[in-house]
Amino acid sequence: MSDFEKFGFSEAITRNVTRAGFKAPTPIQKEAIPHALAGKDILGLAQTGTGKTAAFVLPMLEKLSAQPARKIRALVVAPTRELAEQIHQVIVTLGKDTRLQSMTIYGGASMNRQLGELRKGVDIVVACPGRLLDHLQRKSLTLDAVETLVLDEADQMFDMGFLPAIKQIVAKLPQKRQTMLFSATMPEEIRKLSAQILREPVKVELARGPVATISHALYPVTHELKTPLLLHLLKDAGDQPILVFTKTKHKATRLADQLAKAGFTTASLQGNLSQNRRDSALAGFKSGKYQILVATDIAARGIDVNNISHIINYDIPASSETYIHRIGRTARATKSGDAYTFVTSEDNRQVREIEKALGKPIEKRTLKDFDYKGATIAQVAAQINRPPQQTAAAKPATPAAGEKPKAAGKPRRKRYQGFGRNRR
């Protein structure tokens, strides 16, 4: 008997768990699933990449599959479209042959399509707060039959200003229900919310720091040399998938274009893109079509790609909580990963906060063969022997008349504390 079979799931769900390649429950799954199956409210403290989605999806499916009703009996609320889609896909995968219907509700997608799906009847809704409130105000759905409520990444919903919307949504739900709240951190407002909506919850808490298999490094650099330094590091990246974080949407777009011109298959993921283009960028990154994804924090919520080897903070995050969220997208499923952060002289406060959260100082690195006095993007890009690429968000460009091909490039120099170091 496998570890998942010990939970006593139905035959269909057990079969789906096997098909999905689940071998053994992660720590949060092992702790949370028995309590969830028993109908207990749960306060789960765990960061991204720990398997928490399956920890609430599997018990929810087991409970609902006994009697599909084509009315909303389970509601999952998530901060972003990408995370909502990720959760929905897990529900579809693990809920095959259960006759349950799931749908997503979020802004930026067709309201008419959502209305059509609601009219057909669904058992599970995975929603972002804003569009869900729109439907409630239009009376295009009701939450009177909800038996299970899940709030995922509650701290991020608080950071994004969704707490008032969450309270409005909860007010529309039956008092008698099972509620599960998951959060990587526990700010005071989320603590108060959990006290208001959870009844005698079981607390499932994992270590909230980054996983031990992540290697951290700081790269001191001036603002104007960040892009040349990034290109220099990427010279030795091979085909490893890399996630780069920037502070703003415009910077994400510009940096993705610069990386593409240097020959890297690159996509950007930021809030100004339409939903179709965001979906295309994320799907291309997951499939390997794009090696590098340049994203902002908000757009990156819900990125679930198991083989990301490097997280590069082109801009240092504003808080240690955001740092933990960012780097949690590497070293998933017990794999190793690297987190590199570019820092300027203005970033000392954030560095101290992150080091405090990690409980140790972060190694500072410099590259011996990088010109810290004046390297330019063109100079570094010329050393990369790759043809120019198009970013996911860019339209195909027409080569200028008489444009000369790039030079073949110089032989690669020996790596020094860049990519490939400590690969396990």
CA dihedral 223, 226, 229, 230 (to 10 degrees): 170
Q: Provide the angle, in degrees to the nearest 10, between the axes of the packed helices 81-94 and 52-65.
A: 50
Give the mean pLDDT of the chain: 85
Per-residue model confidence (pLDDT) at position 108 = 85
* CATH number reported for the structural domain that contains residue 361 in this entry: 3.40.50.300
Contacts of 114 by beta carbon, 8 Å cutoff, 6+ apart: 103, 105, 131, 135, 140
CA dihedral 140, 143, 145, 147 (to 10 degrees): 140
Tell me the C-alpha to C-alpha distance, in Å, between residue 150 and each of 180, 219, 390. Answer: 5, 39, 39
CA within 13 Å, CB half, 321: 13
11 & 109 share domain: yes
Tens of pLDDT along 87-137? 999 999 999 999 999 999 999 889 999 999 999 999 999 999 999 999 999
Q: Which among 85, 67, 36, 18 is positioned nearest to 304, based on CA atoms?
A: 85
Per-residue model confidence (pLDDT) at position 415 = 40
More confident residue, 297 or 131: 131
Spell out where 65-151 has E strands.
74-77, 102-105, 124-127, 148-151
Which SS3 state, helix, strand or coil, does residue 325 take?
helix
Per-residue model confidence (pLDDT) at position 211 = 55
Per-residue model confidence (pLDDT) at position 187 = 81
Tell me the C-alpha to C-alpha distance, in Å, between residue 331 and each of 45, 284, 301, 424. Answer: 19, 20, 16, 11
pLDDT band per the 50, 70, 90 thresholds, residue 216: very high
175 & 231 share domain: no
261 & 300 share domain: yes
Give how many domains the chain has, as a whole number.
2
9 & 56 share domain: yes
Least confident segment among 259-273, 367-381, 399-413: 399-413
Query: In which residue are the tokens 């998942």 written?
Result: 4
271 & 308 share domain: yes
Contacts of 118 by beta carbon, 8 Å cutoff, 6+ apart: 103, 135, 140, 141
In a domain? residue 40: yes
Would you say residue 394 has pLDDT above 60? no
Of 184, 205, 226, which residue sits at a domain end? 205
More confident residue, 273 or 181: 181
312 & 199 share domain: no
pLDDT band per the 50, 70, 90 thresholds, residue 396: very low
Q: Which among 291, 243, 232, 237 is positioned nearest to 420, based on CA atoms?
A: 237
154 & 288 share domain: no
Per-residue model confidence (pLDDT) at position 62 = 96
More confident residue, 51 or 149: 149
304 & 156 share domain: no
Per-residue model confidence (pLDDT) at position 147 = 97
Tens of pLDDT along 336-387? 678 899 999 999 999 999 998 888 999 999 998 898 988 788 877 777 767 7
27 & 166 share domain: yes
186 & 106 share domain: yes
Mean pLDDT of 149-170: 91
Beta bridge partners of 165: none
pLDDT band per the 50, 70, 90 thresholds, residue 333: very low
Per-residue model confidence (pLDDT) at position 421 = 43
Which SS3 state, helix, strand or coil, does residue 245 take?
strand
Per-residue model confidence (pLDDT) at position 124 = 98
Instruction: Please tell me the distance from the alpha carbon of residue 244 to that of residue 300, in angstroms, as a whole number.
Output: 10
290 & 325 share domain: yes
Range of the domain at 223: 214-381
